Amino acid sequence: MSVASVQPVAAQPVSQIAAVQPLGQIAPAPRGYSSVETGGTSQTGQITGTLLVGGFESHVLFDSGASNCFITPERAEKSGIRSSAGESAGMVKVAGGGFLSTLGRARGVEIEIAGQSMPADLVISPVELYDVILGMDWLSHYRVHLDCYRGRVVFERDAGRLVYQGVRPTSGSIVISAIQAEQLLERGCEAYLATISMSESGAGVVMGDIEVVQDFEDVFQSLKGLPPSRSDPFTIELEPGTAPISKTPYRMAPAELAELKKQIEDLLSKGFIRPSVSPWGAPVLFVKKKDGSFRLCIDYRGLNRVTVKNRYPLPRIDELLDQLRGATWFSKIDLASGYHQIPIDEADVRKTAFRTRYGHFEFVVMPFGLTNAPAAFMRLMNDVFREYLDVFVIIFIDDILVYSRSQEEHATHLRLVLEKLREQKLFAKLSKCSFWQREMGFLGHIVSAEGVSVDPAKIEAIRDWPRPSSATEIRSFLGLAGYYRRFVKGFATMAQPMTKLTGKDVPFVWSAECEESFSQLKEMLTTTPVLALPEPGKPYMVYTDASGIGLGCVLMQEGRVIAYASRQWQGSERNRPTHDLELGAVIFALKIWRSYLLGETVQVFTDHKSLQHIFTQPMMNARQTRWVEFLADYQVSINYHPGKANLVADALSRRRYDSAVERDVESLVGEISTLRLCAISQEPLGLEAVDQADLLSRIRVAQQSDQSLLDATRVTGSEYEVSANGTILVRGRVCVPKDVELRHQILGEAHASKFSIHPGATKMYHDLKRYYHWVGMKRDVADWVAKCNTCALVKAEHQVPGGLLQSLPIPEWKWDRITMDFVVGLPVSRTFDAIWVIVDRLTKSAHFLAIKKTDGAAVLARKFVREIVRLHGVPASIVSDRDPRFTSEFWRAFQAEMGTKVHLSTAYHPQTDGQSERTIQTLEDLLRMCVLDWGGHWADHLSLVEFAYNNSFQASIGMAPFEALYGRPCRTPLCWTQVGERSMYGATYVQETTEKVRVVRLNMKEAQDRQKSYADRRRRELEFQVGDRVYLKMAMLRGPNRSIAENKLSPRFMGPFPVVERVGPLAYRLELPEIMKAFHKVFHVSMLRKCLHPTEELVARIPEDLQPDLTVPAVPVRILERREKVLRNKRIPLLRILWDCSGSTEETWEPEAKMKLKFRKWFDKQVEE
């Protein structure tokens, strides 16, 4: 047996139009010749597509047999495309010898392909099947190659090739065997059953076939002029003190302006609008309809806000339905453009004015979008049919229901109603009317000879809720049901079988008890007392929610449910922004429950906060404008309701749909027609075909040894099932038994194969669960990824740094504990090119000593005694970085002789000496400002910079360093008199100095506590034990190499290495291999990552050319290209360099001068070559 897919067959186009010369040169009757035979039925080789032509989607044929480009008059009109000036009409000869008339040529029409604009000159002519044909003049201009085999359009451009994948119709059928079809379905492939029906265009309701109605053809004509004067025209009453509101017109595209002009002319010709001089003025915009045409919308939000609301009563639905008892025949009449059939009171016409590019106009008939329009229409209909109301006519807004007990009565009643419409010159739309029905939907109910019943649509969202297939779906359903548990007696007992399945590590087995619980809860949710009848006059509450799957809404009154509703998003709806999805859910609810909500007070609750401001939102897109116009019919307020509180609507919007895929038919046919199907071994997750077959066999054998799986398959209603080949499946996925070796093989292939390349835990889990199932899979996947050695070496950390802030102890006395660092890279000044920064940790006072970068430890020792020890005595300890001069034996011996302890900062963690780092920043800023303001050498300003720094307020100690050091503020030229002369002797001086130190230490403690509190918010506590194996973070080209090239492909970590000792609260000593003996072995905790790999003998991975500063240098290979960067006053030569870094390559642009300076020999060699 074979299964054949049926392909749609389109008619042969009357294209292949080949004009020998351009149309404009041989008008009115150019000759043309066909480039292909006509009469064939195959379309093989043709390429079509949907493109934006003039801003509108059009069906396009790429035709190398036509010498010109063509567009149909219908598409040109809808797109606002007009013939260019000077282009006359003519004729074009087509294949077969026939002629087509032309209406001129439109030049420079925008055609968008893959975001690129490619204008074309389009001949306006009635070609068939396609909206636009792109011929050889356009194809040759843009250097197009048609790849008919692959259905592609290739553009050869200077900037590179541009490929557009078109739709290439196929011929013949694709046949697959029944076995292949079964296998594809078991793998979860989508399948579509296509049925083809033929219908003649224009077929519809024929008035001559309808009894009675056939005598009233004039009642069903389209509106052609102004309605007659009525006794009660539409009025607009404003709130007292309201001033006219006028807004600037919205900006429109050229095509929209052309459509605006056309529609204004149409409204003027009908008499619906007239020119205006009113001070009022609302802006207008267009909304695109489904058929591609435009609907004119007027933004009356400003007018609606100041309009007094008309509280005209609407009838009670239950009273209306009571009138239908005993009726057996029904007809429903819908008026055509009902609002336009009501005139506006002359005094209020000016308030409807709207502003456009083509003038100022006002409506003389009631327009759409005014807040009191439904009430006014209801009042008119009640006045017209007052004598028939509740006798054989029911009216609700614009719905007219005629009901009768017998066929004879119905003929009489229907004639009376149509005569009344004729008398009042009210017109109906035949296509929206229903006549002579025995059953009909009306106001949310089904009316028939058997009586009135609830419309199933009110409860189908709950009634058709699919059976949960996972613990997550059970939680969603129970969350909805639990919202109404106060109405359901014994809710907890009823829901217990399903609740058990939501426990941790509980196998999902859907039993008969679960099915009974599920059915009982659905029954309770769709019957009283949960489901109630509405009571008119009382406020309604509508809860809405939208998700990526669909929308859900609930209509409630006084805490009881009136109706549920939900639906899935279709087609392009899923691509709308969140704001539009949430507003669309509100509009959906108001439309389906219109009969309940119109004329009533409605509170809408949504979890999308910005919807509260939709009525005052300054700018809206076309879709939002159309919906806001719809909202004007309702007395509605939109309120914010957090998602967690909106359980019911949220659950409805996220429920699983059995029909998981809804596809647009046209796009689906186009997609299928482009497929080229062939036999290919595509196994899940990259397993080799032989290994896959062997694995499945092993799984099948292991399943027979797992008694719990075998028992699960025997439970009625269980999700466990046995396939035709004996494999146990769960919802179509292979159930893997408790076999560690099997699971490890699957996990290994899913994570480390060439087809997966080490995905993260979330991605790997979602990839795996499409094919396999076992309890605890997510936990196993996370554990497997965490233990992967390659991932640990390569992947970046996406969490806050490890190690809480550890502040240094506060010194007991001044200049007792100090820090020091160097400022290098300065220009030479008075023979100096560096600064030695020495800071007291208690008072924050500092000395800035000018030195030479080449000064050794002996020179620094002499300067230290002369400038520091001479003034402040010998310090108890020094904190510094790992500069070679501070790590030298001379410096250590020198300090040891003086009794000073030397503390070096942790390797590759300069934050240890953060005080010196921060002081250097301030020093550099002060030097820049001195040089900028006064010029000269920086060494000349250094003493003044030191004075300014020591006399500046320090927040951490609450005073200036000078005051902390000497016990009083410093005298400066700005405050000679403020300080004055003071005499302090003996005990007084000692007491004040001691008090200053106490205050300083107290302030420093508060500052440290505050800094730690802030810092620890962005850090995490991280500890290791002796014996743990850890990875060491590489410095990723920190230092001079960073300005040359960054090797993005180098590992981020290396190792692992054992922890041999904990050094302080935040540092650890590692056991490094012999090749790293030059490296310092103590590292800060933020440089480490724990190794979770179970193999103890795991060999540490270390880059071959690793430097002592944990960098891997990049080596230039060759110069690939040269260019110049042109600035205002100079040109900078640039080189494109190919770099090599530990076997990986990278290309970067670098300044030629920098390369020549850093790699002189290599550069000279490159120049020679």
Q: Classify residue 1041 by burial, with Cβ atoms within 10 Å: 0-12, 13-18, 19+.
A: buried
pLDDT of the residue at 831: 84
d(CA 1046, CA 1113): 9
**pLDDT tens-digit series, residues 869-886:** 888 888 888 888 767 777
pLDDT of the residue at 362: 94
Higher pLDDT, 976 or 779: 779
Higher pLDDT, 901 or 38: 901
Name which of 13-27, 376-390, 816-830 the model is least confident about.
13-27
Pairing label, strands 817-823, 273-275: unpaired
**pLDDT tens-digit series, residues 1048-1077:** 556 677 778 888 887 766 678 887 776 666
pLDDT surpassing 50 at residue 32 = no
H or E segment and range at residue 578: helix 578-592
**pLDDT tens-digit series, residues 306-353:** 888 887 777 776 677 777 777 889 999 888 777 788 899 998 999 999
The answer to whether 835 and 823 are in contact (CB under 8 A) is yes
Instruction: Give mean pLDDT, residues 1025-1031.
Output: 79
Report the 10 Å Cβ neighbour count for 14.
18
The amino acid at residue 1026 is V
Question: Mind giving me the DSSP string for 63-111?
Answer: -TT-SSEEE-HHHHHHTT--PPTTPPPEEEE-TTS-EEEE--EEEEE-E
Name which of 8-22, 432-446, 843-857 the model is least confident about.
8-22
pLDDT of the residue at 822: 83
Higher pLDDT, 995 or 409: 409
What SS3 state is found at 238?
strand
The answer to whether 842 and 816 are in contact (CB under 8 A) is yes
Name which of 218-222, 598-602, 752-756, 906-910 the model is least confident about.
906-910
What's the token pair of residue 469? 């297939």
Higher pLDDT, 310 or 189: 310
d(CA 919, CA 846): 8
Higher pLDDT, 428 or 1111: 428
pLDDT of the residue at 551: 81
d(CA 554, CA 565): 6
Name which of 275-284, 371-380, 445-454, 756-765 the model is least confident about.
445-454
Question: Mind giving me the DSSP string for 1050-1086?
Answer: S-SEEEEEEEEEEETTTEEEE---GGGTTS--EEEGG
The amino acid at residue 174 is I
d(CA 1023, CA 1021): 7
pLDDT of the residue at 139: 92
d(CA 767, CA 750): 8
**pLDDT tens-digit series, residues 717-730:** 778 887 767 788 88
pLDDT of the residue at 393: 92
Q: How far is CA 93 from CA 11, 32, 275, 437, in A?
A: 20, 5, 47, 53
Q: How many helices (H) and strands (E) does the chain have?
A: 35, 49
Burial 203-225 (b: 16+ CB within 10 A, else e): eeeeeeebebbeebeebbeeeee
d(CA 456, CA 446): 9
d(CA 232, CA 248): 33
**pLDDT tens-digit series, residues 448-492:** 877 666 566 555 666 677 788 888 888 877 776 665 554 555 666
The answer to whether 601 and 639 are in contact (CB under 8 A) is no
pLDDT of the residue at 1058: 83
Instruction: Give mean pLDDT, residues 29-42.
Output: 33
Place of tokens 């996370």: 782
H or E segment and range at residue 914: helix 914-934
**621 — pLDDT class (breaks 50, 70, 90):** confident
Q: What is the largest CA-CA distance in the chain?
A: 126
Pairing label, strands 111-113, 47-53: antiparallel
DSSP state of 339: G
Phi then psi for residue 160, to 5 deg, are 120, 165
Name which of 2-6, 238-242, 723-727 the model is least confident about.
2-6
pLDDT of the residue at 1039: 33
Phi then psi for residue 138, to 5 deg, are -80, -40
What SS3 state is found at 834?
strand
Angle at 1127 between CA 1123 and CA 1130, to 5 degrees: 85
Q: Classify residue 815 by burial, with Cβ atoms within 10 Å: 0-12, 13-18, 19+.
A: buried
Sign of the CA dihedral running 344, 345, 350, 351: negative
The answer to whether 143 and 158 are in contact (CB under 8 A) is no
Report the mean per-residue pLDDT for the chain: 73
Closest to 102 (Cα-Cα) out of 121, 115, 79: 121
> How far is C-alpha 768 from the chain's CA centre?
25
Residues in the chain: 1169
pLDDT of the residue at 684: 36
Residues with Cβ < 8 Å from 666, sequence gap 6 or more?
none
What SS3 state is found at 507?
coil
Instruction: Give mean pLDDT, residues 930-958.
Output: 76
d(CA 403, CA 424): 21
**Most confident stretch, 140-154, 652-666, 1003-1017:** 140-154
